[in-house]
Amino acid sequence: MKQKRYFLFALFSIAFVKAQEWQTPVIEGYGEVKYFENAAVQPDPSLEYHLLYDIKSDATKDGVNKGLWVMARTLNLLHVAGVPKEQIHLVASIHGQATFLTLNERAYQKKYGTSNPNQNLIEQLKKQGVTLYVCSQATAARKITTSDLDANVTPALSGLSVLATYQLKGYVLMPL
């Protein structure tokens, strides 16, 4: 009987610890989250999430662009909270110092002499339905051609037009 109690205690302890581990259920390897079932202000699975990200910094987190990393975390958080994928709509306006993260492998390798560390994350975000726009004003100013861009990134007239248009469509501008 005593062994059975120890076994049950160990089993519940493992389950509790497991629930508290960092995880990346949607975007593998990026945007780690811990889910706390009893935390206040949980995402509402009945809502549509229309979220807009203004990615203009080249700051990094865990080796990738911080803005992209935050988008990965958002997808992971919404998933663990039970929000259906069909109700999640994420858009990024990439411009300014962040523009170079949109380079394809060939162009990035030519500019920096190394692989684009954002490549895998960009591909995973795109597979989850995230729309990534790059500012054509920023690419032109940096002499980046459309053939230099990652195929998962769409050129927009400007970063400002993306930000204005999507906010007027009801998207919420997320802080980074």
**Domain map (residue ranges) of the chain:** 2-34+46-174
Determine the pLDDT at residue 19. 56
Task: Tell me the C-alpha distance between 2 and 5, whole Å.
Answer: 5
Structure tokens at 17: 């610890």
pLDDT at 14 over 70: no
Kindly state the average pLDDT of the residues 124-143. 98
Q: Render 47-72 in DSSP notation, one character per residue.
A: S-EEEEEEE----EETTEEHHHHHHH
**Residue 158 pLDDT grade (very low, low, confident, very high; cuts 50, 70, 90):** very high
Q: Is the pTM of this model over 0.95?
A: no
Determine the pLDDT at residue 15. 44
The per-residue pLDDT for range 74-126, each reduced to its tens digit, is: 999 999 999 999 999 999 999 999 999 999 999 999 999 999 999 999 999 99
Task: Tell me the C-alpha distance between 80 and 142, whole Å.
Answer: 39
Determine the pLDDT at residue 18. 47
> What is the bridge-based pairing of β-strands 64-65 and 88-94?
unpaired
- The answer to whether domain 2-34+46-174 has CATH 3.40.718.10 is no
DSSP label of 161:
H
Determine the pLDDT at residue 1. 54
Angle at which helices 66-80 and 119-127 cross, to 10°: 40
Determine the pLDDT at residue 154. 98
Question: Is 157 in a helix, a strand, or coil?
Answer: coil
Write the CB contacts of 163 (distance below 8 Å, at least 6 apart in sequence): 52, 54, 93, 173
Question: Nearest-5° angle of CA 156, CA 161, CA 165?
Answer: 110
pLDDT at 33 over 50: yes
Task: Tell me the C-alpha distance between 59 and 38, whole Å.
Answer: 33
Write the CB contacts of 124 (distance below 8 Å, at least 6 apart in sequence): 27, 28, 30, 72
pLDDT at 5 over 60: no
pLDDT at 12 over 60: no
Neighbours of 64 (CB within 10 A): 21
Determine the pLDDT at residue 2. 56
pLDDT at 72 over 60: yes
Query: For 60, phi and psi rounded to 5 degrees?
Result: -120, 160
